[in-house]
A and B are shown apart, each in its own frame.
Chain A
Amino acid sequence: MLRLGVHLSLRSGKEALIRLVLTAIAVMLGVTMLLSALASYHAFQATNNKPHWWFPDVAEQGSLLWLYRTDVYGNQDIKRVDIAVLEPNAPLIPGLDRMPGPGEFFVSPALSELINTVPAEELGSRFPGKQAGLINDEALLNSHELLAVVGRSPDELRDVPQAFLVDNLDIPSSPHRQTNFFSFLFAIGMLSILLPILVLVTMATRLSASRQEERYAAIRLAGATPGQVNVIASTDAFLGAAIGTILGVFCFLFLHAVVTRAAIDYLPYHPRYITPTMLGYLTVGIGVPLISVVAALLSLRRVRISPLGVSRKTTPKPPNLWQVVPLVAGLAIFVSGAAVENGLVMGAGFLLIMFGLILGGPWITMQLARILGNKANGAVVLLAARRLASNPGSAFKPVSGLVLAVFVGTVFACIAPTLLADQQNEKVNTLEHVLTVSFYDQRTVGLSADAGAELIEQLREDPGVEVFPIYATPSSIWANSREAAARYAEEGIDHDPTIGYITCEDLASLAAIGDCAPDVQVTAIFTSPLILDHNISDQTVIPGTSTTNVELSTLPVQALLIRSDGASSLEKARTLLANKTITTDTPPRTFGEIRQYEQSLVNGIQRIIYAAIVVTLIIAGASLAVAIGDGLMERKRPFMLLRLSGTPVSVLNKVVLLESIAPLFLASLVAAVVGFGAAATLISTVAPDGSTIQPPVISYYLVMGGSLLTALLVICAPLPLLDHMTKSDNARFE
């Protein structure tokens, strides 16, 4: 029976062969997308699950002295670990065959290349001694990572407050919050494309099911049992899916280089991680043909195939009004959550809206199609609308996945410009090339007065650099509140870490931060928002703190604002800072770099969401193309007779196109409108006062437009079939 099944699939004429080819192509597309998604997900997980060895635990007794900090070069972070080996059995850093001794350093290949291409005083001089070798992939998250491991003598690190003892580098992976957020996004992205891929595979298996069922009835008439028909149907489904799966694997391997270049989390992944893994290959290789066989068998359960023909056991029930209840409830919960400013309630509403859009889609499709059909003034709209209204579930199925992606994408595309607009106020813009460096951390209030003065003097030796120091203020005088002052006193802290002194002359030079009262020399400012968060508000300068009798040269230097006239001066200043100071909490970045950093975060999220939109829209297009092919086979006779009766083929083409485009565009539109509404509510609730919703960024329109256009082209692919099928020369009824 298996042999007969294979024979019927491969040697039953042109129609059977075309069907097999179309099924295989659709499955190939689905498998390629699936493997690409699995490979990207694996790369993301494998990269982020690598042990974060640079954050070891502090030990009471250790064999290593460890100092980790983040340096910056040209808006790229450099991970830097200074180590001093205390005992010969000290643990080894992954990716190194030995630890660097004093006066040696190891760097990643990318950093080594960078050091060799830029002047030493801008980068190379930050690493004392000579380069002893390269750090291999084992220690790196990706091949573009900048990493340095600098060897020190124990004496050099022993008195550094930020250095600590380490006895173990076998660190379990502990993704930080940002990675968890990306994982969550990635999981949503995967879910949103998995559903449409499965829909595509099952639809491809069901291609021209009605014609197949007629063949099975003929086989039954020839004496086959229902079980044997099931075997033949399974073989047919398996063959198409298996060929498609094999082609999909080859297609994925061919596209591997493209996926490798896909930058999801700022930087490209290491090529060896871009793989679906053997488990992924096996799951897809076995799962996809299995799903196809199950889909074929399930579809046979919906019909009764007897030797006398095929009859439907059940006709699809029209969608019920209750299906839109979750959507309405979700919108209500979201709005009420916004009204009481409760993020949890809003989040629940958000999830319910996403679920409700998918569940309620068929009902909305049916109602819109009915209205359209009852108002249609032309044959095209009437035919398409009635078809959509007759089975809205199957019309909506191919586009259900994209609803989720478009909804999430629209929410983000509306929120992103608002988030960025908030950071791009004019005051911050004037400080674009101003670098901030804070010397305050939990161990020290800042550089001592003498060290600070020396550093400032050295920095000012470069004529391209202006330095604006911020001095630590005695807590007894300037604590934010009496309670805070009392607490500082209790904890023995003699300076307020959140406030600093700056000269009025420097303040005037920086302009954006604020003004002093006339005829005073020094004022206090809130330093935390300025130095740590890079935010400036009208309240940065503390009113009533202007003074003339403060001897700044006696106070510790809490932070520096450094303005440079170009990249070279900026990097030289950073080199000096790296060599003269140790700042572990805040990497020395300019306001402009901070903005770019935040922009790159937004871009990273955007890229994941856009990838999901592109994939789901194209898959929806492919599913709709399969549905068109199936629908044409099913309606071959009425369509041919309509054409014979004088209906131009262009009218039939328009009918078929409208049937497919309408759900695609309507689903996208409804998801986008609901997404826009959710974003507007979100912004009016949680964004800072005065923030209003911004129109989505241009890339959103490009991605949506480009994907819809591609989907449209895919949808048009089966149209020549319609012309061929209904050609009057093919009509022979004798």
Chain B
Amino acid sequence: MLVSKSMLRVVDVRKSFGPTPALRGANLEVAEGEILAIMGPSGSGKSTLMHCMAGIFVPDSGEIWFGGQRVDQLDEDNRTELRRSTFGFVFQFGQLVPELTVADNIALPMLLNKEPRKVAYAKANTWLDKLDLKGLGHRRTGELSGGQAQRVALARALATKPKVIFADEPTGSLDSLNAEKVMDLLVDLAREQHTTVILVTHEPRIAASADREVMICDGKVVTAQKVAS
């Protein structure tokens, strides 16, 4: 994978929670269309770094650049808007709204973006086909297996064609077979849509799907290496 140009840039970012420092001057660049895995032991600061990059956390100091704009300088409303319109998120579990059907859950971000109902559900149905969820559109998420639920979460994240997908331990609650299947789908679809993916994981096997992996330790990015294809 060729790195075309830098899409996300983290410059000397520091973030503490009370007296506990989580990031101590992290630096990182992510290229457009790149699939990056952030790895590290528990408590190393990998999720905090991802949340800072996504505009969920505001760093105490340092800079976060997305395209030409400073994400860390945006106010809450603009960061919310950025997350909704430009980013997609996949979490480990619990992101689907239990009362909604599978189709509702996938259509939800489009409805939030004020897309007409018909268009939103037509797109949602397309994603159901793509992710091998055909016939499950009317089911509640509680009736799905873990793998199916994560595929729905993937569909929801990708449905708005985001520029960046932030995936925080997306396979953490799945068995190895389902984990592999979900990761394959994420990578294939991201490449198909030319979407940048920031993936947080502590499993080397999952990180192996990425173009590049970085290690974070004690709040600093310590190594960056290209994954052998």
Taking Cβ atoms with an 8 Å cutoff, the residues of A that contact B are: 373, 375-379, 382-383, 386-387, 389-390, 635, 637-638, 641-648, 651, 728-729, 731-734
Contact = CB atoms under 8 A, between A and B. Distances in A.
Contact of A641 (B45, B58, B94, B99): B94
Contacts of B97: 383, 386, 635, 638, 642
B89 A382 contact: no
A13 to B, nearest CB: 15
A342 to B, nearest CB: 46
26 contacts: A379-B112, A382-B107, A382-B111, A386-B97, A386-B100, A386-B101, A390-B99, A635-B97, A638-B95, A638-B96, A641-B89, A642-B97, A643-B80, A644-B56, A644-B83, A644-B89, A645-B84, A645-B87, A645-B89, A646-B83, A646-B85, A646-B112, A647-B112, A728-B51, A728-B76, A729-B58
A190 B48 CA distance: 56
A587 to B, nearest CB: 64
B77 interface: yes
A488 to B, nearest CB: 78
A389 B138 CA distance: 14
Nearest to B91: A641
B80 A648 contact: yes
B204 interface: no
B111 A379 contact: yes
Residue of B109, B111, B116 contacting most chain A CB atoms (<10 Å): B111
Given A377-B116, A729-B57, A646 B17 contact: no
B47 A734 contact: yes
A731 B94 contact: no
B101 to A, nearest CB: 8
A641 B95 contact: yes
Contacts of A375: 117
A646 B82 contact: yes
Contacts of A389: 99
Contacts of A373: 104
Nearest to A732: B17
B168 interface: yes
A733 B108 contact: no
Contacts of A387: 99
A247 B153 CA distance: 47
A386 B98 CA distance: 9
Interface string B46-77: 11100100101110000000000000000011
A377 B117 contact: yes
Given A376-B111, A387-B99, 13 more contacts: A382-B107, A383-B97, A635-B98, A637-B94, A638-B97, A644-B51, A645-B84, A645-B87, A646-B87, A648-B80, A732-B47, A734-B43, A734-B47
Chain B binding surface, main DSSP class: mixed
Contact of A645 (B83, B94, B107, B111): B83
Contacts of B94: 637-638, 641
A648 B101 CA distance: 21
Contacts of A378: 111, 114
A376 B99 CA distance: 15
Residue of A376, A641, A644, A651 contacting most chain B CB atoms (<10 Å): A644
Given A732-B17, A733-B47, A734-B43, A645 B109 contact: yes
Contacts of A729: 57-58
Interface in B3-61: 17, 22, 42-43, 45-48, 51, 54, 56-58
Interface residues of B, number: 46
A635 B95 CA distance: 10
A382 B57 contact: no
Contacts of B82: 646
Given A378-B111, A734-B48, A647 B84 contact: yes
B81 interface: yes
Contacts of B168: 733
Contacts of A645: 83-84, 87-89, 95, 109
Contacts of B109: 645-646
A282 B116 CA distance: 59
A651 B81 CA distance: 12
A380 to B, nearest CB: 9
B146 to A, nearest CB: 15
A651 B114 CA distance: 12
Given A645-B109, A728-B57, A383 B84 contact: no
Q: 10 tightest A-B contacts by CB?
A: A646-B84, A646-B83, A379-B111, A637-B94, A390-B99, A641-B95, A386-B99, A645-B89, A379-B112, A728-B56
Interface in B97-139: 97-101, 104, 107-109, 111-112, 114, 116-117
B112 A651 contact: yes
Interface string B195-214: 00000000000000000000
A375 B88 CA distance: 26
A643 B24 CA distance: 27
Contacts of B140: 390
A382 B107 CA distance: 10
Nearest to A734: B47
Residue of B45, B80, B92, B114 contacting most chain A CB atoms (<10 Å): B80
A641 B51 CA distance: 12
A375 B108 CA distance: 14
Contacts of B77: 648
A379 B109 CA distance: 8
Nearest to A642: B97
A375 B98 CA distance: 19
A644 B56 CA distance: 6
B124 to A, nearest CB: 12
A600 to B, nearest CB: 51
Contacts of A638: 94-98
Contacts of B107: 382
A471 B105 CA distance: 87
Contacts of A390: 98-99, 140
A641 B77 CA distance: 16
Nearest to A636: B94
Nearest to B55: A728
A734 B109 CA distance: 26
A382 B104 contact: yes
Contacts of B46: 734
A383 B100 contact: yes
A386 B104 contact: yes
Nearest to B142: A315
Nearest to A381: B111
Contacts of A728: 51, 56-57, 76, 79
Contacts of B84: 645-648
A734 B104 CA distance: 29
Nearest to B81: A646
A647 B97 CA distance: 13
A140 to B, nearest CB: 60
A644 B76 CA distance: 11
